[in-house]
Amino acid sequence: MTRSSAPARSFTETRIRRGPSSWLLSSDTPRSWALSLILIVIVTCLAAAPFLFSGSQPLSTAAKICVFVLLVASYDLLLGYTGIVSFAHTMFFGIGGYGIAIALERLGPSWESVAVGLVAALALSAVLAAVIGLLSLRVRAIFFSMITLAVASAVAVLASQLSAITGGEDGLSFQLPAELRPAFRPFAEPILGLAINGRILAYYMIFITAAVLFLVLLRVVNSPFGRVLQAIRENEFRAEALGYRVVAYRTAASVISAMAATVAGALLALWLRYNGPDTTLSFSIMIDILLMVVIGGMGTLYGAIIGAALFVLAQSYLQVLMGAGSQTLSGIPILPDLVHPDRWLLWLGLLFIVSVYAFPGGIVGHLRKRGRSHELG
């Protein structure tokens, strides 16, 4: 997969475009018309979601996509760019969620509480990530993965046991600062036919935070530092011999990735006004993240946008779609059972297997390869 992406990179080197969009995207443009189009559609829909869709469910789906774009992009920094397989990513996601939830529940619904919760969560995540990263000093990749699994499991158990602080299995519900509540109306008049309320402000806070941090991550993977991470992924032994301290770089990548995941967790908690083990900490979310990275395309970062959008949409609407299908097919034997809404995971699994076989480089890898062959041919 890395081999197929290499000529694409050299392509950008031959003609580096200058301009604000190139600066914003750290000169790592999508490099495929189809990919650019898909990204523009997704980002536009997300940016205009409150104006395009009515009702609370579409807005919730859009908010969830924003959160997962950030979460998946931060995981791709580890998996796709540095070649680190960590299972502790949801732990950092959870720390962000719990930081916000505990602070707002204990200290009351104010922006100070949000700040305290976020800063404390970021500090805890950074320390934990640094400690886990430094453990990779002497252990091999597979053991590192096992260690992350063990630590993540321990934290998940801890979160459900310390119910006095975390709310245990029930989680924590809390009040948001007044400006983010549905009753808050910053403008007397509707804008573009939409009455702006605190809920929409909350959505834009999530959208903008996720967008800015995504661009920061894009900059990091396209920086000299980011290229060292790729070198480590390609040949750690040689990177070390060139004078790069592999452990230090890996640890730094882990810390950056963990902190971005923490922010994503905090954003999700703020949107849901709730945090519990199932929303941010569960291992099934870890698997979801892996699927989104692989579907979108490892080591591309743009894959995070496509992977997260597709996956969250499927999660939210596949069941509805299948319910309708099941209805129309009623009377025919077996078929209605196959598309029964309860089977949605089966279909998602099949889709996943097919996509991995058909597009080993993920959707982004596939589109870039196609774009290049058109360019040449």
> Which residues here bind another protein, judged by CB under 8 A?
2-3, 5-7, 9-10, 12-14, 16, 23, 26-27, 216, 219-220, 222-228, 230-231, 234-235, 237-246, 249, 256
Q: Give Cβ neighbours of residue 208 (< 8 Å, ≥ 6 apart).
A: none
Q: Give Cβ neighbours of residue 285 (< 8 Å, ≥ 6 apart).
A: 90, 93
Contact of 30 with 302, CB cutoff 8 Å: yes
Contact of 268 with 260, CB cutoff 8 Å: no
Residue of 16, 133, 31 lying closest to 84 (CA atoms): 133
**Least spacing, CB of residue 209 vs another protein, in Å:** 18
**Least spacing, CB of residue 224 vs another protein, in Å:** 5
Contact of 257 with 151, CB cutoff 8 Å: no
**Least spacing, CB of residue 218 vs another protein, in Å:** 10
**Least spacing, CB of residue 96 vs another protein, in Å:** 21
**Least spacing, CB of residue 123 vs another protein, in Å:** 19
Q: Which is nearer to another protein, 37 or 216 (CB)?
A: 216
Q: Which is nearer to another protein, 2 or 328 (CB)?
A: 2
CA dihedral over 370, 373, 374, 375, signed as positive or negative = positive
**Least spacing, CB of residue 367 vs another protein, in Å:** 19
Alpha-carbon span 221 to 28, nearest angstrom: 9
Alpha-carbon span 197 to 185, nearest angstrom: 5
Alpha-carbon span 100 to 57, nearest angstrom: 23
Q: Which is nearer to another protein, 101 or 221 (CB)?
A: 221
**Least spacing, CB of residue 238 vs another protein, in Å:** 5
Q: Which is nearer to another protein, 53 or 244 (CB)?
A: 244
What angle, rounded to 10 degrees, do the helices at 246-272 and 89-107 form?
50
Q: Which is nearer to another protein, 225 or 352 (CB)?
A: 225
Q: Which is nearer to another protein, 10 or 284 (CB)?
A: 10
Q: Which is nearer to another protein, 114 or 217 (CB)?
A: 217
Alpha-carbon span 205 to 207, nearest angstrom: 6
**Least spacing, CB of residue 223 vs another protein, in Å:** 5
Q: Where are the beta strands (DSSP E) in 19-166?
A: none
CA 354 to chain centre: 22
Residue of 50, 305, 84, 317 lying closest to 197 (CA atoms): 50
CA 35 to chain centre: 19
For 259, the token pair is: 């902190």
Q: Which is nearer to another protein, 160 or 230 (CB)?
A: 230
